[in-house]
A and B are shown apart, each in its own frame.
Chain A
Amino acid sequence: MIRIKCPFCGERDHSEFSYGGDATVEYPALDASVEEWNKAVYQRANPRGPHREYWHHLNGCRSWLIVERDTLTHEVGTAEFAHPGLTEALK
């Protein structure tokens, strides 16, 4: 069972979280072209090894986190708030 160190709640079982997809995708502006949106939504890498991905602490503090996970070994590294201002605000 993957264990994730939520920066707000501490280390928790993955059953408290839901997977939220690739965190390296940069979503274009809402008024961007079909091509740009097509690239963001459909043209995804499927990396083998270290990866950054979103996890939602659904049954916890409900933070969206960026978690480092190795797709090959399931080794979980850092977890930080996806919201860029939150880490600072909680200091």
Chain B
Amino acid sequence: MLEKADAPRRWDTLERSYRARIERGAAFADGKIVRRDETERFLEAVIEPGDRVCIEGNNQKHADFLAAALSKTSVEAIHDLHIVQSNIALPPHLDVFERGTARRLDFCYAGPQGLRMARLVAEGKIEVGAIHTYLELYSRYFCDLTPHVSFVAADAADADGNLYTGPNTEDTPAIVEATAFKSGVLIAQVNRIVDKVPRVDVPGDWVSFVVEAPKPHYIEPIFTRDPAVITEVQVLMAMMVIRGIYEKYGVTRLNHGIGFDTAAIELILPTYAEDLGLKGKICRYMSVNPCPTLIPAIESGFVESIHCAGSELGMEAYTAARSDVFFIGRDGSMRSNRIFCQLAGHYSDLFIGSTLQIDLEGNSSTATLSRITGFGGAPNFGSESRARRHGSEAWLKAGREQRLSGEMPRGRKLVVQIVETFGDGMSPTFVERLDAWELQKTFDMPLPPVMVYGDDLTHLVTEEGIANLLLCDTMEERAQAIRGVAGYTPVGMKRDREMVARLREKGAVQYAEDLGVDKRLATRDLLAARSIKDLVAWSGGLYDPPSRFRNW
């Protein structure tokens, strides 16, 4: 029997809230265009205490003007926000916590702000919901962390709010989709307002307001690695990767982490791999930002197609002129998309990246005791893709080596960590126990912050050799294979030499001579480019490096 309802349930509270916010915000705008001088009061009008707010801030572009404006709003008007954003990179991102504008935080990566973040967490000014991987955080935008208000960064907008992101589309589509279709207020910071945008990356009717920033949003060239500082040891490791992994498995689809180790691999494709006759057989399709060190491999015909999570400063004209390789819009500039790039990389044959610490199970972490940094893209790229069904030579071969019990054949993604046995300041990369455990205790986290789990890892490359963990049958063998390439670190010196010799016989540990790698070739002469200027030359003058990388 129906009882008399107290009051009918409202099913459009979000929509009604949206309309009220738009109406309040309209007082500070002409149409969709917010009057810049009134940005702070505008934010006080559209944001409510306790809102979930996303400030687009990713690897490269940042809604920096809006972030700074938020950090100057009245704490009476706006407080206790729950910030849900991928990158904490700029001081205002933490200023909002320092002053009480925001309290709770879900994020992916803190980078240079990691030290200050750790302090604010310790002082109780930040309650960390979780440190996510990129795909997890985006996923939760579509689940329980949907933003009420999002700030995104774009290159240009028109009066209707159509946005042009330029080559750095990055996280924008994920944020926009989640916000605009769940009655959220979407505010775009743009470098310029134009009559007609070069291409529509975000349709105007998804965009609530636009602010023209006083100066172009901040972009950092974080994927540029100067070949001038690649060492002979890194060249040696790159040679071992090409012979011992790329050639052996026939890896054609892959993701490279960002670092000098992987830059060295990219730069010896046109020399070392070419001489081995590997062109067309390895490294054909990549999920990676347009790193300048890829230019020689593209120009020499190794890499045929690249999808990018974001762009890289100075690579705009080069990518635009290589539309066979990069994903390019009708306007002629690149389109990036972090979520799709992460997905493509997740289902490719191989991930290779670097880390700061590895334990005897192969767990790795970039966390150090004094800072909270997060993970970046590595955990999604660098994990076994268990949902994968399609076969490829590399994936099936790795699956056969794994020899799982049971009858059912399975493939295996290759997940490779490449490290020198000692890092900066002679700190050993190999440890009996990760600092991550200590960090878990210090910051009261549910899990130690591990970047790549040992059971996802298949190969470990050091200057001493390669440990193939697929061929290790027991945890004891795995630990000895890791010790067997850990060099003169305390972990490496404690190896059981007989067991390592046995592992070497079955290929679970391989040194340069076992791989047919001639150490005498491991010099910088093997690099197809040894300077930024060489990269410019390879690009036919299309690559325009930021001034800080020049020496001419």
- Verify that A and B bind, or say they do not: no
